[in-house]
Amino acid sequence: METTLIILKPDAVQRGLMGKIISRFEDKGLAIVGMKMMTISQELAGTHYGDHKGKPFYDGLVGFMTSSPVLVMAVQGVGAIAMCRKMMGATFGSKAEPGTIRGDFGSSNSFNLIHGSDSPEAAAKEIGLFFNDGDIQTMDRAIQGWVYDMASGSPE
């Protein structure tokens, strides 16, 4: 099982898309094991997007991410990182395929609705930025055997 960080950005929250987007992850069989609504501070945004510091879009990105509340989630499942990124679609809504979150709900090349960790290392770091010890839940879900083939004893 992998756990990844998903952020529903200010545009998704302001547009009332939280429920529709959360449903997509749950419908896929992924588990929401941590979730909170928050307004990201300038300091936290600067840390989270530190790799982009100095790039032309950095100040606008930090300004956007701190402009309104976001919904932060820890999402878990087999291959959750790649699966969530595929579900999100291409970075720019105008280029994202229909059927993806950005393809179905996004048009802007600046406001792209959602963030998802891009690697296990990034997921661990990002989850640590947004969640405290004890915030991520451990869940034994009764549906697990219907989401994954458990014949070998491990989810496939």
- Would you name the residues annotated as active-site residues? 115
72 vs 32: CA distance, rounded Å = 10
Tokens of 112: 């792209």
Nearest Cα residue to 115 out of 80, 73, 146, 58: 73
Q: Which residue is it, tokens 């960790």? A: 117
Q: Sign of dihedral through CA atoms 12, 17, 18, 21?
A: negative
HSE-CB at 100 with a 13 A cutoff on CA atoms is 22
